[in-house]
Amino acid sequence: MKPLKSIAALALTGLLVCSLGTAFAQEATIRKNLAERLPSFAKIDEVSKTPMNGLYEIRVNDSDIFYTDAEGNFLLQGNLIDVRAKRNLTEERVEKLSAIDFEALPFKDAFKIVRGNGKRKLAVFEDPNCGYCKRFETDLQKINDVTIHTFLIPILSPDSVEKSKNIWCAKDKGKAWLDWMVRDQPAAKASCDTTALERNMAFSKKHKITGTPTAFFVDGSRVPGAISAQQVEKMLTAAKAP
C-alpha cells in the first residue's frame, strides 16, 4: 500500500496535468476560432487568462491587446480596469510590453546634451515642429546632472524633415536644437549624411513610437507626452537600470 503522502502527490500531479491540458485546449480553441472568423488574427502572439473570470487576453503585433471569451465568439478592445485595486490592467500590460532596453537604443543616431555631471540618463524622441516638444525642452532646462539623448523623428510635416536635417548637420547639434526649440532661432541650412534620421523613423515604427515627445528612462519605461520637470525628476530618481 502506498503512503498517503505519495498518493496525495500523485493526485496533485494529476490535477496539474489536467489543468494544463485544459488550458492548452482552451488556447487552441480561441486561436482556431478567431483565425477562422477574423483573418487578421491568424497570427496571435499570445493567449492568456485575465483576472476576470471567463475573459482571455489576446496579444497581436507584439503589443496590441484585445480580449475574448473562452470560445473566441466575441472580441473586445479597450481598458480592463481593476476597480478594487484602482489599476488599469491594460495600460500596465502595454507599458510592460512596450518597454525598451535602454542600453540597446541606437545612440549613434542621436545627439546628446549633458548638464552637470551627466550621471542620470534620458532618451527622447522628438520632432522640431512639435509644440509639446518645445514645452518639454523648456522644462528640461530645469533638470541638472543628466545626459539627454535626442532622437530626431520628423513625423509631423515635410517641413519637419528639412528642419531635422539642418539640426542634424549642424556643427553643434545640441546647440542648434536648443536654439530652435527654446529660443526660436532656426538652424542654418546645412547638408550631410542624414541616413540616421531614416533609421530613427524605422526604429520608431518598429517600436510604435507614434507621438512626440516620447521619453525613455534607464529602466526601460516609456513616457509619451510632455511631462513637467517635477515628473521628469521623479522618473529619473525612480528609474534604475535592470
- pLDDT tens, 184-221? 999 999 999 999 999 999 999 988 898 999 999 999 88
Q: How far is CA 192 from the centre of its chain?
A: 31
Boundary residue ending a domain (71, 98, 125): 98
- pLDDT tens, 41-95? 889 999 999 999 999 999 998 889 999 999 999 999 999 999 999 999 998 898 8
How many structural domains is the chain composed of? 2
125 and 166 fall within a common domain: yes
- Report the distance separating Cα 236 and Cα 120, nearest Å: 7
**The C-alpha cell that represents 71 in the structure block:** 470560445
160 and 182 fall within a common domain: yes
**The C-alpha cell that represents 78 in the structure block:** 479597450
Q: Smallest Cα–Cα separation from 105: which of 216, 196, 233?
A: 216
66 and 136 fall within a common domain: no
Range of the domain at 132: 102-238
pLDDT average, residue stretch 209-234: 93
- Identify the CATH number of the domain in which residue 161 sits: 3.40.30.10
170: left (phi over 0), alpha (psi -120 to 50) or beta: beta
Q: Which residue type is seen at 49?
A: K
- Report the distance separating Cα 161 and Cα 181, nearest Å: 15
Cβ neighbors of 19 (< 8 A, separation 6 or more) are none
- pLDDT tens, 5-20? 555 555 455 544 444 4
- Report the distance separating Cα 115 and Cα 179, nearest Å: 16
Helix 131-140 / helix 229-238 crossing angle, nearest 10 deg:
70
52 and 110 fall within a common domain: no
148 and 177 fall within a common domain: yes
114 and 211 fall within a common domain: yes
